[in-house]
Structure 1
Amino acid sequence: MTTKTITRANIAAALHHEVGLTQSDCAELLETVLNEISGCLAEGETVKICSFGSFSVRQKGQRMGRNPKTLEDIPITPRRVIAFRPSQKLR
């Protein structure tokens, strides 16, 4: 299976062909959608997109890591990560 990277420009071009809006309108629309999603995630909210999946923010606790050069144990600080769970239709 080959992997393909989809860029914002690819999505905007696909919107342009499917919807018929101008290229700049499609790019602006895409930017608005992505800003809304990232804003919600930054506030810790879950973003659910029907028939696609949901993005959620999860807390990772503190854990111990190891420096591979010195083998010294180092604490890794707690952090927030974004998780994606695909919908049943996407699986």
Structure 2
Amino acid sequence: MNKSDLIESIAHSAQISKIAAERGLNGLLSTLSAAITEGKRVTLVGFGSFSVVDRAPRKGRNPKTGETVPIPPRRVVKFRPGKELAGKILCD
């Protein structure tokens, strides 16, 4: 499912126009992005939570040459599904 499919689905299920659904989705995404950028945890009950975690530096391996390559530390976004979503995924 891509963004336009998601907008269409939101518009249909909420019985609103596609323009209103797009505005709502864009607002949600910009709010989530801003909060995650600030390092805040975002929890959507029943769906899951987004958080920023720090990855430690580590050693990787170039598969072509077999050479060991250092991988620098970095921050990544982590998603953890909520119980309700995880239950639906595991039962299907």
Q: TM-score, normalised by structure 1?
A: 0.85
Identity over aligned residues, as a percent? 36
Q: 2:44 aligns with which of 22, 26, 49?
A: 49
Q: Distance in 1 between matches of 2:38 and 2:26?
A: 18
Partner of 1:22: 17
Partner of 2:69: 74
Q: Distance in 1 between matches of 2:16 and 2:56?
A: 45
Deviation of 1:24 after TM superposition, in Å, equals 1.1
| Structure 1: stretches of 5+ with no match in the other structure | 1-5
4+ runs deviating over 4 angstroms: none
Q: Deviations over 1:31-85 (max 9, x none)?
A: 1101111111111111100111101111100001122233222210001111111
Q: Distance in 2 between matches of 1:68 and 1:16?
A: 46
Q: Aligned letter for 1:49? A: L
Task: Report 1:28-47 matches (<5 A).
Answer: 28-47=23-42
SS of residue in 2 equivalent to 1:51: coil
RMSD: 1.2
Q: Distance in 1 between matches of 2:85 and 2:64?
A: 42
